[in-house]
Chain A
């Protein structure tokens, strides 16, 4: 099976005035379809830079990055935009929904820029399907300020899925959520991954990384370790555990 993400000696250097910052110093890694990878590291480790490159938002200064077999260093800005549109889905820490638009319109956003263009009726249908997939079909006409943090993140996940991407990229997806909602969102990710969607997630929390199948730890621009998760958590179980704990507190 061909890897959907292939980094070959990937390097990224930023120029900050006269100083050069070597954010990533040579990373080689393959991610196959169907994987659920968590990239961990403290700030400055290079994980955000790696995520930006994987997300085709930035280009390597050295080495190669092949997304679904395509070498992105040869592509121009417009072609990268098309690639993002077709092959990737983004979930951010801050949800990044459009504020004065309904949930379904938010989910439709990536389809707006699809080439060839998708007719409005089809856009609506696919958006509603994606919302139902994350359990928010009834709230399709809600605005973000009428949704809880967890619900907003689920809308963002639906948006990320609507163009049927090859990879779902999540940058600290639970950073703004409480513990219970975080587990719920991880539950969504896990069920999506079971359906075959490849997920690459950046997180600094070990608990959250434990919901993934594989963990890559970065430090100072290099991969320090790349292992399968030994004690993988299952979201439904963790929720039951949490509810039991909370009940215990209440009874006392």
Chain B
């Protein structure tokens, strides 16, 4: 290996590329998963989202858009009768035009109860949430997100106490939400306004029924039971027979995460396929160089056999060389990946996280490639006839 550094480096190139791709790809997958986990955690704790709809499967979007059929009675029943429920908030949604001074913007509004902010893990930078009393009175109060605030009042200004027009109705801002950033679908969660649902239904939308409820279970252990109980309760209330399709559906925050992760998995598979091809090419490269090496060293092999090397000894010698070559290439590939992954985050914005297990796996894979692709040349060396080998020019 030391004999010709350039040749060894070129041989290792395939392995280096393949292993660094493995490292970077794995780090992208891990980083993406961590980002999703973080986002899921920021959604709330033990969160169940119940929404009206045909109960059809397949992601969150198909649920919405169906006509709202969750009633006030459903809300109260859920709140009071279902065991294991910590908090419930109904939700109405729509778009509204906000005007403040000479700034205006169009924003999606959420009409919710006072428990919503707690359920969805919203904290307050300044001010506070609106109260149950505000909800009872359909008060014209709201809390807004940082992006919306910056748009209307400029960065750094505290909007609490200001009055804005929401679809021409004057609303008073009582709180500024702490920023959350973009969600895993790429939407800016800080471009938002929360109002009491009573106010929303009275002044902003004509809805009399709700599209969805946000439910917080008391603990992770009771989540399954809570879901069962809610199903039973609503089936009864909506007079749906056992066995018939319910007219509502539920998603836990974990299921949101799984959906987001599915996209990441596709990306990971593609990168790993590329890495796998590169590693095979690298392995073939090693096999080629080892074959050349065996031919070049035919005389040497003959001498070793003549002085008493067994076939097994020669096999071990050349196999070791192949493994050293591939393992060293693997180490270089790991180093390259280590350097490349954070660079990728910086340049392309992909979150990357290098895990210890991926390094161990990558190293083992590179050593294995040496064993697999070095075996044939090593076998060839071991089976040389000493007389012919000694005569080789």
Taking a contact as CB atoms closer than 8 A, the residue among A98, A112, A114 that contacts B300 in the complex is A98
A86 to B307, CA, bound (A): 9
Bin the interface of chain B by size.
Answer: 10 to 19
Cβ of A78 and Cβ of B308 under 8 Å apart?
Answer: no
Q: Does B310 contact A (CB under 8 A)?
A: yes
Cβ of B307 and Cβ of A85 under 8 Å apart?
Answer: yes
Give B159-188 as 1s and 0s: 1 = Cβ < 8 Å from A's Cβ atoms. 000000000000000000000000000000
When distances are taken between beta carbons in the complex, the residues of chain A under 8 Å from B302 are 96
Cβ of A78 and Cβ of B312 under 8 Å apart?
Answer: yes
When distances are taken between beta carbons in the complex, the residues of chain B under 8 Å from A55 are 306
A96 to B310, CA, bound (A): 18
Q: Would you give the shortest CB distance from A95 to chain B, in whole angstroms? A: 10
Q: Describe B's contact surface by its main secondary structure.
A: helix
Q: Does A77 contact B (CB under 8 A)?
A: yes
Q: Would you give the shortest CB distance from A50 to chain B, in whole angstroms? A: 13
Cβ of A113 and Cβ of B311 under 8 Å apart?
Answer: no
Q: Does A52 contact B (CB under 8 A)?
A: yes
Cβ of A109 and Cβ of B300 under 8 Å apart?
Answer: no
Q: Does B239 contact A (CB under 8 A)?
A: no
Q: Known: A109-B303, A113-B313. Is A96-B308 also a contact (CB below 8 A)?
A: no
Give A98-125 as 1s and 0s: 1 = Cβ < 8 Å from B's Cβ atoms. 1010000000011011100000000000
A78 to B305, CA, bound (A): 10
Taking a contact as CB atoms closer than 8 A, the residue among B308, B311, B386 that contacts A110 in the complex is B308
Q: Known: A96-B299, A113-B313. Is A85-B308 also a contact (CB below 8 A)?
A: yes
When distances are taken between beta carbons in the complex, the residues of chain A under 8 Å from B311 are 77-78, 81
Taking a contact as CB atoms closer than 8 A, the residue among A58, A78, A84, A100 that contacts B307 in the complex is A84
Taking a contact as CB atoms closer than 8 A, the residue among A52, A84, A109 that contacts B387 in the complex is A52
Q: Would you give the shortest CB distance from A200 to chain B, in whole angstroms? A: 15
Q: Known: A78-B310, A81-B309. Is A113-B387 also a contact (CB below 8 A)?
A: no
Q: Does A159 contact B (CB under 8 A)?
A: yes
A159 to B303, CA, bound (A): 11
Interface residues of A in 76-97 (CB under 8 A from B): 77-78, 81-82, 84-86, 90, 92, 96
Taking a contact as CB atoms closer than 8 A, the residue among B3, B310, B313, B390 that contacts A92 in the complex is B390
Q: Does A57 contact B (CB under 8 A)?
A: yes
Cβ of A90 and Cβ of B312 under 8 Å apart?
Answer: no
Q: Known: A78-B311, A100-B3. Is A113-B304 also a contact (CB below 8 A)?
A: yes
Taking a contact as CB atoms closer than 8 A, the residue among A82, A98, A100 that contacts B308 in the complex is A82
Most A CB contacts (10 A, CB to CB) among B299, B308, B309, B310 go to B308
Cβ of A57 and Cβ of B387 under 8 Å apart?
Answer: yes
Give A135-170 as 1s and 0s: 1 = Cβ < 8 Å from B's Cβ atoms. 000000000000000000000000100010000000
Count of interface residues, chain A, beta-carbon cutoff 8 Å: 23
A159 to B308, CA, bound (A): 12
Cβ of B304 and Cβ of A90 under 8 Å apart?
Answer: no
Cβ of A109 and Cβ of B304 under 8 Å apart?
Answer: yes
Cβ of A90 and Cβ of B3 under 8 Å apart?
Answer: no
Taking a contact as CB atoms closer than 8 A, the residue among B3, B387, B390 that contacts A96 in the complex is B390
A57 to B303, CA, bound (A): 11
When distances are taken between beta carbons in the complex, the residues of chain B under 8 Å from A86 are 308
Most A CB contacts (10 A, CB to CB) among B302, B303, B305, B390 go to B303
Chain A, Cβ-Cβ closest to B307: A110
When distances are taken between beta carbons in the complex, the residues of chain B under 8 Å from A112 are 309
A78 to B303, CA, bound (A): 15
Q: Would you give the shortest CB distance from A176 to chain B, in whole angstroms? A: 14
When distances are taken between beta carbons in the complex, the residues of chain B under 8 Å from A114 are 308
A92 to B311, CA, bound (A): 22
Q: Would you give the shortest CB distance from B311 to chain A, in whole angstroms? A: 6
Cβ of B308 and Cβ of A57 under 8 Å apart?
Answer: no
Chain B, Cβ-Cβ closest to A49: B387
When distances are taken between beta carbons in the complex, the residues of chain B under 8 Å from A98 are 300, 303
When distances are taken between beta carbons in the complex, the residues of chain A under 8 Å from B299 are 96
When distances are taken between beta carbons in the complex, the residues of chain B under 8 Å from A78 are 310-312
Cβ of A96 and Cβ of B303 under 8 Å apart?
Answer: yes
Q: What 7 new A-B contacts, CB under 8 Å, besides A81-B310, A98-B300, A109-B303?
A: A55-B306, A57-B306, A77-B310, A78-B310, A90-B307, A96-B302, A110-B307
Q: Can you list 9 A-B contacts with CB-CB less than 8 angstroms, sorted by A residue number? A: A58-B387, A78-B310, A78-B311, A81-B308, A81-B309, A109-B307, A113-B304, A113-B307, A114-B308
List the 5 shortest-distance A-B pairs measured between CB atoms, nearest first. Answer: A85-B308, A110-B307, A113-B308, A81-B310, A113-B309
Q: Which residues of A contact B (CB under 8 A)?
A: 52, 55, 57-58, 77-78, 81-82, 84-86, 90, 92, 96, 98, 100, 109-110, 112-114, 159, 163
Q: Which residues of B contact A (CB under 8 A)?
A: 3, 299-300, 302-313, 386-387, 390
